[in-house]
Structure 1
């Protein structure tokens, strides 16, 4: 019998190992593709949409499917070759195929168990929509087994492998032992960096070389070993070398915009069981200016960020929903609508964006970032995600819950169920370590609070009921077609999930601020905390989600805090001078920063610089701020806002996949776009009252609410209240001015993009 160290040297990786791996990979890939495929995304069935897409772009689908299979093949083959090494070191070089398969399957099953405990939300659709009878198994794991337990077993297995490797090198110092240890280093490097294509090429090389590794001098293997150790160290070495290029510039402090999707104002300092769910933000408040009545202009992510970073209204720059046409998104970053990043770049700043799935808006328009560490969103990426999610044996490796993986498929950064902030924090640390206190900005955008509310272990247990065993145990999708109200137990669970997600973000925030302090950057930095919008959580009849209506305080009222450098005149103000209760808007962000850097305004902005009122409590005048709704995703449902709207088709009927725009999903029909704009609900509010404009086929309806006495907006005061006429006049003047809208009766008629003659 041939052995690893026998007189007749056998290849370390015979073709038999690769054949078994190939059969294993094909079997499980097809098995899960057939029995674990779903066309539901965030509660919406996109089956018909994907069928149309696949029919038109079948070649793209084949390419993306091949990509997922290639990753699967590399991962399985890596495990089979490692298992083969272990058997060889144990002097059992030719075990039966089923022993091989059981060994690899056992390792993958342990990794799956660890991943399901760490990120049960990723497997939520499998256990709650496709195979709910298996849900008790997930309950058992998350209730009784900490993720460290299966991790320790996997670490032990890896330790045995390394121990055997070291023993072989120590005892024999042979080419085979050095080849084996280099093989493990190669696979580890490929795994950490997700270089699966090079991995497959490497395996092809192993098949081709056969016994030729014996012809390589042993000193060469030693050099290769040193080379790969150096490769492992390169990232940290490069950051250290690169940081030498950057230095502090007086008057140009680093800027950190730390934000979370759907973070409500009233959740800052919110008490659960006698303790705050945001302890780190509470501590930060002592150093920052707080704007207690801050509102977003539109409670949808893309247009909200477009408004915030350009300082202009969505009705002006025309990005008014999540799916702008090419002509609309090109206006962001144009000469007429520069972002604050582009403005500050002229005085020497560099800009970076970091984010998870909701940050997919940043690569889709010219926001002025030098680099974006966030997922993109298009039909091709969505296909990769849906295909990868079917492969549950491979998912633990793809989401990085197994020994520093997670870089294989960048498309998985866009998974709405992957609420892990660690990978974002690592990117934040790397950038700060490199840039230090030079002029740069980082826009950090966490999605953990966005539905389906998916904090990882142990945060999803923080405030939820351990005795709740329903479909909302780990996550809550939004189904825009379902107006049925959950029962009180379910509502309590959903709100507890949300609070747990807020706590998870607070921990991310604390890690970032703590790192800035550790690096000596905190005191001299500008740090801003905010959110793109809030979230309705079944208050009154408001439902769950954001963007469909403007009732209540939950969807537009968001936190806004600014910490200025301690050496600046604003950093010298006492803590009791940093509380502003007057109403403010997200369009105030750009004028405020431009004012801080003494950059003159080249055009009129709807917002105001907040620097002039930093020592005040309120505006001297009666200030009004504007908001509007997003796009309605569904055209059915019994929600109150579905009964108060001008109808247009559901989102899947409006969409088009545009190959010329990297297969982005857009609403390109100008008639639909004009209808969407015309149908929007709009509001104007001051510190005391809110007026909502609601166009319907029966005419325009108005709702006026007392914000302080009636925060849920239940009692309509229009038209008899003295403020009704004034606020209506302010709303119409605002829209006519910034949208170039016309008025027909009481309807506001938006200007068409085609009518705007502008040099972009």
Structure 2
């Protein structure tokens, strides 16, 4: 970066003014900080994206909510409280009641969504993992076909451009952003360019940024990804969403001691567990209101009806169903059973699909709906059965893996049965997830043939993954992404690092 043209100050003459020095220092800090802190990706041809064809679907919105369990949504059976905004999307959508995440935490799940392959193929399964550049992402396909591509959201993992999750997005605006570390000019930058320099962005702010983007780009053909971090740890909902008086005290309105709880789950009292779960649910109600504001804007702009909207999550959250807490450590349903709704353009229908499907299938589904050709290989997941077929219930093979904590595991779901294998101990757990969706009764000893059948399918999937490694020539292990000091601090605050 070229230095700013400052006045050369000769020490021996000592004729410079103090005000000029201060002004120069502030301007220098402003210039340097601006280029250090900007995290938007600007593609070399982003000002002139060629429109190759008249798109069948002109607008696509991928709307994702971090850490959202399937069963916390009222239209999915939650009786404790309502989620009216998400329910309104469901009323116009094809709903997949048995959608499963490829992993139990953010990075591998979204890497699978944007590549169409499982974590065993892309291997982006650690905090420092980098999505191999050999993969062409969903956003890249959309951009190359003439769509304006943008992402707006909050999550320090997704804000790390070094992990390649920004590939294909011309405008990639994810929070938290890098700190200015109290540099000179910080006040000016935060006042006039806050969206580049704030460390965090609330769900309300993500909504406002998304609304502004939509207003400016409503006449374009676009692919927009909006991601809400709430209800992720820390659980700190706005006070108006805390209805129970016992949780209104300042020291009870939020929770962030995830490391201690993860290490000592048995020592957490039932009362404290109830408080933690309540705060999570309050955050769900908060983000539901933000989504409602966003949907109202789409309707006011008269683009809701003809927009393809996909609503989903990257993973769920455990609240001691299997003696654990949070996410990233197991493959039980509380972590990988997620909501998925697809609102097709110009259709107002409610249809529930019971077939088991994987989040990875959104890659091929979106591209097929938009009539975009893509490179197929052995492990690209098939498009979703949008028309449904009740007779084929649970016929797909749903593979999940890539734990962040504890023992590495793989799981596979087929025809209502689910097998979880722990890599180090060799422990195998078989569940009938139709009759036992909470996975309380292992059938491993009762159905050894079923265990062998599903284990063979897991090994087959891993063998296919190995073939793909060699086919696309990126080696057995992907590259490593850099994590700067600010990002490490933010990841610790979210419980990802100690």
Bucket of the pairwise TM-score, normalised by the shorter protein:
0.7 to 0.9
Q: Residue 558 in 1 paired to residue 334 in 2?
A: no
Among candidates 160, 163, 169, match of residue 369 of structure 1: 169
Q: 1:271 to 1:199 in 2, by over 3 A?
A: farther
Aligned-pair CA distance for 1:382: 7.0
Question: Residue 62 of structure 2 contacts residue 310 of structure 2 at CA under 8 Å; is this kept in 1?
Answer: yes
- In the alignment, what sits opposite 1:436? 218
Partner of 2:110: 305
- Secondary structure, in 3 states, of the residue corresponding to 1:582? coil
Give distance in 2, aligned partners of 1:406 and 1:499. Answer: 33
User: Does the CA contact (< 8 Å) of 1:531 and 1:559 recur in 2?
Assistant: yes
Instruction: Map 1:146-157; keep pairs closer than 5 Å.
Output: none
> 1:256-302, CA deviations, whole angstroms, 9 ceiling, x for partnerless residues?
11111101111111799966431111111111110110011011211
Runs of at least 5 residues in structure 1 that lack an aligned partner in the other structure: 1-195, 202-241, 389-394, 633-641, 646-679, 743-751
Question: Which residue in 2 is equivalent to 1:723?
Answer: 450
Q: Does 1:296 align with 2:78?
A: no
Per-residue CA deviations over 1:293-347 (Å, capped at 9, x if unaligned) read 00110112111111101111222122112221xxx43x1xx3x411111111222
Cα separation, 1, equivalents of 2:86 and 2:391: 23
Whether 1:607 aligns to 2:381 is yes
Correspondence 1:507-522 to 2 at 5 A: 507-522=289-304
C-alpha separation between the residues in 2 aligned to 1:340 and 1:756? 22
Q: Deviations over 1:201-248 (max 9, x none)?
A: 9xxxxxxxxxxxxxxxxxxxxxxxxxxxxxxxxxxxxxxxx9xx99x9
1-structure distance, mates of 2:135, 2:121 = 9
* Bigger helix share: 1
Which residue matches 2:34?
none
CA deviations 1:373-427 (Å, max 9, x no partner) are 11367xxx4794xx89xxxxxx9x9999xxx8882872512xxxx6x22221121
Q: CA contact under 8 A between 2:176 and 2:199: conserved in structure 1? A: no
Alignment partners' CA distance in 2, 1:500 and 1:399: 33
- When normalised by structure 1's length, the TM-score is 0.51
**Aligned to 2:126, what secondary structure does the other structure show?**
coil
Instruction: Give 1:454's aligned residue.
Output: 236
Q: List aligned pairs for 1:193-204, cutoff 5 A.
A: 197=26
Q: Is the 8 A contact 1:263 1:559 kept in 2?
A: yes
Is the CA contact 1:261–1:447 (under 8 Å) kept in the aligned structure 2? yes
Q: 1:276 to 1:253 in 2, by over 3 A?
A: farther
Aligned to 1:592: 365
**Counterpart Cα distance in 1 of 2:26 and 2:416:** 60
Contact kept, 8 Å, 2:61 with 2:309, in 1: the verdict is: yes
Structure 1 residue aligned with 2:460, among 733, 748, 751? 733
Question: Which of 699, 706, 718 is residue 432 of structure 2 equivalent to?
Answer: 706
Question: Which residue does 1:500 correspond to in 2?
Answer: 282
State the SS of the aligned residue for 1:599. Answer: coil
Deviations 1:504-552 (A, max 9, x none): 11111111111000000001101110011110012242x211111113x
SS in 2 for 1:529: strand
Aligned partner of residue 232 in structure 2, secondary structure: coil
**Contact 1:257/1:444 (8 A) holds in 2:** yes
> CA 1:313 to 1:266, structure 2 compared with 1: closer, same or farther past 3 Å?
same
What are the within-5 Å matches in structure 2 for residues 525-604 of structure 1?
A: 525-541=307-323, 543-551=324-332, 553-566=333-346, 571=347, 574-575=349-350, 578-604=351-377
Would you say the 8 A contact 1:579–1:617 is kept in 2?
Answer: no
Q: Identify the residue that residue 255 of structure 1 maps to in structure 2.
A: 60
Answer whether contact 1:549 1:629 (CA < 8 A) is retained. no
1:475 positional shift: 2.2
Change (3 A) 1:375 1:494: same
For residues 113-154 of structure 1, the C-alpha deviation after alignment (integer angstroms, 9 at most, x for no partner) is xxxxxxxxxxxxxxxxxxxxxxxxxxxxxxxxxxxxxxxxxx
Cα 1:613–1:360, aligned 2, differ >3 Å: closer, same or farther? closer
Q: Counterpart in 1 of 2:255? A: 475
Partner Cα separation in structure 2 for residue 276 and residue 467 of structure 1: 17
Question: How many Å apart are 1:629 and its aligned residue?
Answer: 3.7
Deviations 1:41-69 (A, max 9, x none): xxxxxxxxxxxxxxxxxxxxxxxxxxxxx
Give, in angstroms, the shift of residue 253 of structure 1: 1.6
Q: Distance in 2 between matches of 1:266 and 1:724?
A: 27
Matches within 5 A, 1:327-338: 328-329=130-131, 331=132, 334=133, 336-338=134-136
Tell me by how many angstroms 1:486 deviates: 1.5
TM-score (normalizing by structure 2): 0.76
Partner of 1:350: 148
Structure 2 gaps, min length 5: 1-24, 31-46, 480-498
Q: What is the alpha-carbon distance in structure 2 between the residues aligned to residue 534 and residue 606 of structure 1? A: 24
CA, structure 1 residues 537+472, in 2 after alignment: closer, same or farther (shift >3 Å)?
farther
* Counterpart Cα distance in 1 of 2:72 and 2:342: 18
In 2: Cα distance, 1:299 partner to 1:275 partner:
25
Q: Alignment RMSD, CA only? A: 3.5
- Give the superposition deviation at 1:607: 1.2
- Aligned pair count reads 425
Larger CA Rg, structure 1 vs 2: 1
The separation in 1 between residues aligned to 2:60 and 2:294, in whole angstroms, is: 13
